[in-house]
Amino acid sequence: MMSHAAAHYTSTGLDSRKMAFWAFIGSECLLFGSLISTYLVYKGRSVVGPTTHEILNIPVTSVSTFDLLMSSLAMVLALSAVERGDKIWARGWLATTALLGLVFLGFQAYEFTTFVHEGLKLDTNLFGSTFFVLTGFHGGHVAIGVLWLLTLLVRSFMGKLGPDKALNVEIAGLYWHFVDVVWIVIFTVVYLLQ
């Protein structure tokens, strides 16, 4: 049908949903940019402890960072499997990505509870406020990503995630990789910078 074809015409040839998602990511950059800048501005200005290296457990967080990085690899493999119509591996890699995301969230939950036990809460000092809000925002993004991945997994089991739907996976992947990249910045700024 002519009108059907016309409805999918785009001026640039790019898919509109994908373009929208890139715009969204642009917006998210400013969101995390504001959070990270605030963290940096307030670094070392807390009037009471505990702060940064008195409390941060870098080895443990290195493991969770590695875990999140590996989830990005699994995401790439999931997309590739969906594109070539390989249902088994699509499910396998989608499940792996979601699981690695959940593991990351588990690490974060462990980290947060440990900090609270060691006396660092949201209202303890500037470090507590900036740290929990920044990493909490990121954790929230990971949680939404996990829900998204599980949704795709369910769609795959329903037989509704064929190669024609690869774009859906690609967009979820864009989000996932973005959240990953943001974590690299956070890990560098919060954990590694002395």
Partner 1 sequence: MTSIATPASSVARRSGIWSWITTTDHKRIGILYGVTALFFFLLGGLEALIIRLQLAAPGNTLVSAETYNQLFTMHGTTMVFLAIMPLSAAFFNYIIPLQIGARDVAFPRLNAFSYWVFLFGGLLLNSSFLIGAAPNGGWFGYANLTSSQYSPGLNIDFWVIGLQVLGAASIAASINFIVTIVNLRAPGMRLMRMPVFTWMTLVTQFIILTAFPVITIALVFLMFDRFFGTNFYSVAAGGDVLLWQHLFWLFGHPEVYILILPAMGIVSEVIPTFSRKPLFGYAVIVYSGILIGIIGWGVWSHHMFATGLGPIADSVFAATTMIIAIPTGVKIFNWLATMWGGQIRFTTAMLFAIGFIAMFTIGGLSGVMHSSPPADLQQTDTYFVVAHLHYVLFGGAILGLSAGAYYWWPKITGKLLDERLGKIHFWLMMVGMNLTFFPMHFIGLLGMPRRIYTYDTELGLDTLNLLSTIGALLLGVAMIVFLVNAWRTRTNGEPAGKDPWGGAGLEWAIASPPPVYNFSVMPEVVSRLPLWSTREMKPIPDVPPEPVHVPGGSFWPVVAALGILLLGIGALLQALPVVIGGGAVLFVSVYAWAFEPFEM
Q: Give the interface with partner 1 as residue ranges (CB under 8 A).
A: 1-4, 6-12, 14, 16, 19-20, 23-24, 26-28, 30-31, 33-35, 38, 41-42, 45-47, 122-123, 125-126, 128-130, 133, 151
Smallest gap from Cβ 70 to partner 1, in A, equals: 28
Q: Which is nearer to partner 1, 127 or 183 (CB)?
A: 127
Specify whether the CB–CB gap between 85 and 163 falls below 8 A: yes
Place of tokens 């609270």: 116
Phi-psi region of 132 (alpha: psi -120 to 50; beta: other; left: phi over 0): alpha
Q: What is the CA radius of gyration of the chain?
A: 20
Instruction: Report the residue number, 27 or 194, with the smaller CB distance to partner 1.
Output: 27
CA pair distance 112, 97, nearest whole angstrom: 23
| Euclidean distance between CA atoms 167 and 173, whole angstroms | 9
Cβ nearer to partner 1, comparing 100 with 152: 152
Q: How far is the CB of 121 from partner 1 (least distance, A)?
A: 9
Q: Please say which residue, 10 or 194, places its beta carbon nearer to partner 1.
A: 10
* Least Cβ distance, residue 39 to partner 1 (angstroms): 11
User: With respect to partner 1, which residue has the nearer C-beta, 57 or 129?
Assistant: 129
Least spacing, CB of residue 10 vs partner 1, in Å:
4
Q: What minimum distance in Å lies between the beta carbon of 172 and partner 1?
A: 12
